[in-house]
Amino acid sequence: MKSLEALLKKQLKTVPRWLVWGFIALSFIGFLDATYLTAKHYLGIPINCSFFTGCEEVTSSQYATILDIPVSLAGAGYYLLIFVLVIAYLDTKKERILYFISRLTPLGFIASLWFLYLQLFVIKAICLYCMISFTTSTLLFILGLILLQLEGKEIAVNKS
């Protein structure tokens, strides 16, 4: 963890540290959540919900898999990609990596909106773990928007 902190201290001044930490934390949480759902799917173990009662309904619905592959596996890949890209940014200090991430986050957000729609209006059940994924992808999208806004300001300053 100390080497990660050292990398963060060395990063370029134009990207706030809290933004990079946000990408790291949220992508890690999303990865753990999606990996948990994927593991439960392949192990054939029912998912227990503590706040909502619809986890099993949602994760066993026809919308939970595509060609017998759980959609949570795609989610785990998405979150892992963002996490690895942030680590690559910390290692190389190439801000274009972060700007690529900011352009990637709308994909996760749109997918999460679709799955939220399915839960609320088609399946009519809510999965706690799916809501965690919805929250993390939404927050990643917001961080991406903030980063794009910073990029726009930096471009405007450089053109002056």
Q: Is residue 33 part of a domain?
A: yes
Q: Is residue 6 part of a domain?
A: no
The structural domain count of the chain equals 1
Q: Of 48-57, 90-99, 107-116, 138-147, which range is least confident? A: 48-57
Residue range(s) defining the domain that contains residue 118: 17-159
**Angle, vertex CA 156, rays to CA 14 and CA 90, nearest 5:** 25
Q: Is residue 11 part of a domain?
A: no
Torsion, Cα 53 55 56 61, to 10 degrees, reads: 120
Each residue's pLDDT tens digit, 11-26: 445 789 999 999 999 9
Query: Which one-letter DSSP state was computed for residue 53?
Result: S
Each residue's pLDDT tens digit, 29-41: 999 999 999 999 9
Q: Which CATH number covers residue 130?
A: 1.20.1440.130
pLDDT score at 9: 52
